[in-house]
Amino acid sequence: MSLELPALPFAKDALAPHMSAETLDFHHGKHHNAYVTKGNELLADAGLSADNLEDLVKEAKKTGGALFNNVGQHYNHSFFWSCLSPNGGGAPTGDIAARIDADFGSYDDFKKEFVAGGVGQFGSGWVWLAADGGKLKIVKTANADTPLTDGMTPILVCDVWEHAYYLDFQNRRPDFLGSFLDNLVNWDFANENLAKA
């Protein structure tokens, strides 16, 4: 299978001022697109077979190197766009609300742990809410890594590579993470993923 750049599930200016059209131009149109192009070049020679993107990521992880970096980044970014909504942000709704209370104590406790995870990821990477054996946890991953290849089910993710926030927040990664939760996070998508966990 080959990789395909997905269309953003919202208008490019719909997340402003929390995430600007300029950020999305670069992040989706340049960075994500480059992972798709490079990933397809490497896949053409790799001879991997998979029925879906999740299985392809797991296969690419066994190979590692540039192949996994590009395929993993395609998966992570495709997942990330679905975690954003112009109508998102704030306290969770649906089943995920009760699960967050059960596994973190309260939404405020979850928020502190999620932001601390993203701030604590040294260098480039991602902070995730993932289901691990029936329990929700915060997972941070470096570079292109994903909890998917450790047997967990991703529920939500925020990109903490500098390219995700530098145009809008400069060096203020904690403010970007807080704004992601307060203004953008798509709890409907989190509930869809929780239902599969």
Least spacing, CB of residue 161 vs Mn ion, in Å: 5
The residues near 193 (Cβ < 8 Å, ≥ 6 apart) are 131, 153, 154, 155, 156
**43 close to 67: Cβ distance less than 8 angstroms:** yes
**74 close to 39: Cβ distance less than 8 angstroms:** yes
Q: Which residue lies nearer to Mn ion by CB, 80 or 114?
A: 80
Least spacing, CB of residue 31 vs Mn ion, in Å: 5
Least spacing, CB of residue 135 vs Mn ion, in Å: 27
The phi and psi torsions of 9 (rounded to 5 degrees) equal -80, 25
Least spacing, CB of residue 158 vs Mn ion, in Å: 10
Least spacing, CB of residue 99 vs Mn ion, in Å: 27
Distance CA 89, CA 179 (A): 8
Chain centre distance of CA 66: 19
Q: Which residue lies nearer to Mn ion by CB, 145 or 159?
A: 159
SS3 76: helix
Q: Which residue lies nearer to Mn ion by CB, 4 or 108?
A: 4
Q: Which residue lies nearer to Mn ion by CB, 31 or 111?
A: 31
Q: Which residue lies nearer to Mn ion by CB, 161 or 187?
A: 161
Give the residues lining the site for Mn ion (CB under 5 A): 159, 161, 164
Chain centre distance of CA 16: 19
- Which residue's CB comes closest to Mn ion? 159
